[in-house]
Amino acid sequence: MAVPPPFPAPAEIAAHADKPALREALRTMRADHVARLGEEGRRAAAAAAARLILPHIPHGAIVALYLAIQQEIDPDPLVALLDARGQQLALPALHDATTMDFRRWIPGEPLDRGPFRLRQPPAHAPFVTPDLIVTPLVGFDRHGGRIGQGKSHYDRALVRYPGAHRIGFAWSVQKVPGRLPHDPWDMPLHAVATEREWIPMPEIGA
């Protein structure tokens, strides 16, 4: 099934100067978009995004992914493609309310419930240092800016793994015109994959 085209972002999305208000506006827009897609459209979009990102993931790289919650685009099709390659995968794991690391994960293995009911690998799974982090988003811009859920887990984790290539995974409607608000500790994305395009951030570099 063809992926329906995105509907235009409301003008007020770009006008929010503060992150909390912008985050809520983007969440509402994302939820509306996902509802419009329907289940079959969501699956088609996730598969399209997976095909676009796959050529940019080197064979042999340790790849950290996520398990989708709420209306996030689902990386399951990407997980299947990488698993078929024999790629080493990891998932985020919280071991307190603020600190997120990445633990090795083999698809199909049982998961534990961590803080905030995060589904994560069990405590015996080894920690890994990812070469590439595929991160969920609430919104992004074309300059590497991202806005997340608001708990700063990814913000702190990205700072702790500065050598990892940072790729956002998102619906195309989550792209914000202009630049997102930026804090000094924000780590910019190297690229974003949506169901419609691969978006490199040339000003960030490799």
Helix axes 76-85, 19-53, angle to 10 degrees: 40
Instruction: Give pTM, 2 decimals.
Output: 0.87
Q: What pLDDT score was predicted for residue 20?
A: 84
Choice between 135 and 10, residue whose per-residue pLDDT is larger = 135
Q: Is 92:71 a contact under the CB 8 Å cutoff?
A: no
Q: What is the residue extent of each domain of the chain? A: 15-200
Burial 171-200 (b: 16+ CB within 10 A, else e): bbbbbbeeebeeeeebbbbbbbbbbbeebb
- Among 196, 205, 202, residue whose Cα is nearest residue 48: 196
Mean pLDDT (the chain) is 87
Per-residue model confidence as pLDDT tens digits over 118-177:
899 999 999 999 999 999 999 999 999 999 775 667 888 888 898 999 999 999 999 999
- Number of Cβ atoms within 10 Å of the Cβ of 113: 9
- State residue 17's pLDDT score: 57
Superfamily of domain 15-200: NagB/RpiA/CoA transferase-like (3.40.50.10420)
| Of 121, 123, 127, residue with least CA distance to 107 | 121
Which of 17, 18, 42, 82 lies closest to 172, judged by CA? 42
How far apart CA 166 and CA 128 sit, in angstroms, is 16
pLDDT of residue 156: 83
